[in-house]
Amino acid sequence: MGSIRALRGTRDILPDEAAYWQWVEGEARQQFARSAYREIRTPIFEETGLFARGIGEATDVVGKEMYSFTDRGDRSITLRPENTAGVVRAYIENKLAGQGGVQRLWYTGPMFRYERPQGGRQRQFHQLGAEVLGSKDPRADAEVIAIAQDLLKSIGLTNLTMDLNSVGDKADRAAYREALVAYLTPYKDELDADSQDRLTRNPLRILDSKNERTQEIVVDAPNLQDHLSPESKAFFDQVRQALTDLDISYQLNPRLVRGLDYYTHTAFEIQSSDLGAQATVCGGGRYDGLIEQLGGPATPAVGWAMGMERLMILLKELREAPVAEMDFYVVSRGDAAQAQALKIAQSLRRQGFGAELDLSGSAFGKQFKRADRSGAVACIILGDSEAENHSLQLKWLKSGQQEERQQDSFLQSADALRQQIDQARST
Partner RNA sequence: GCGAGCGUGGCCAAGUGGUUAAGGCAGUGGAUUGUGAUUCCACCAUUCGCGGGUUCAAGUCCCGUCGUUCGCCCCA
Query: Which residues 167-226 are close enough to bind RNA by CB under 7 A?
Result: 194, 198, 205, 208-211
Report the distance separating Cα 330 and Cα 325, nearest Å: 15
- Residue whose CB is less far from RNA, 72 or 373: 373
- Residue whose CB is less far from RNA, 231 or 388: 388
What is the total residue count of the chain?
A: 427
Nearest to 233 by CA among 246, 206, 250, 252: 252
For the CB of residue 265, give the shortest distance to RNA in the complex, in Å: 16
Only one of the segments 28-36, 60-68, 320-328, 343-351 lies at the binding site for RNA (rule: CB under 7 A); that segment is 60-68
Sheet holding 67-70, edge to edge: 45-47, 76-79, 67-70
For the CB of residue 136, give the shortest distance to RNA in the complex, in Å: 21
- Residue whose CB is less far from RNA, 227 or 310: 310
For the CB of residue 9, give the shortest distance to RNA in the complex, in Å: 5
Cβ–Cβ under 8 Å, residues 79 and 45: yes
Residue 133, beta-bridge partner list: 103, 301
For the CB of residue 98, give the shortest distance to RNA in the complex, in Å: 28
**Binding-site member from 82, 141, 169, 172 for RNA (CB under 7 A):** 82
Nearest to 140 by CA among 33, 239, 32: 239
Interface positions, 128-157, toward RNA (CB under 7 A): none
- Residue whose CB is less far from RNA, 316 or 366: 366
- Residue whose CB is less far from RNA, 56 or 168: 56
For the CB of residue 188, give the shortest distance to RNA in the complex, in Å: 16
Side-chain-facing half-sphere of 281: CA atoms under 13 Å: 27
Cβ–Cβ under 8 Å, residues 287 and 54: no
Interface positions, 239-258, toward RNA (CB under 7 A): 258
- Residue whose CB is less far from RNA, 59 or 299: 59
Interface positions, 94-123, toward RNA (CB under 7 A): 113, 115-122
For the CB of residue 224, give the shortest distance to RNA in the complex, in Å: 16
Number of residues that bind RNA (CB under 7 A): 72
For the CB of residue 411, give the shortest distance to RNA in the complex, in Å: 18
For the CB of residue 263, give the shortest distance to RNA in the complex, in Å: 9
- Residue whose CB is less far from RNA, 95 or 369: 369
**Binding-site member from 17, 25, 65, 137 for RNA (CB under 7 A):** 65
Only one of the segments 16-24, 43-51, 55-63, 167-175 lies at the binding site for RNA (rule: CB under 7 A); that segment is 55-63
- Residue whose CB is less far from RNA, 75 or 366: 366
- Residue whose CB is less far from RNA, 34 or 398: 398
| DSSP strand pairing (376-382 vs 326-332) | parallel
| DSSP strand pairing (160-166 vs 251-252) | parallel
Side-chain-facing half-sphere of 290: CA atoms under 13 Å: 33
- Residue whose CB is less far from RNA, 351 or 375: 375
Site mask for RNA (CB under 7 A), range 365-404, x = bound = xx-xxxxxx-------x-xxxx------x-xxxxxx-x--
Note whether 4 binds RNA by CB under 7 A: no
Interface positions, 308-347, toward RNA (CB under 7 A): 309-310, 333
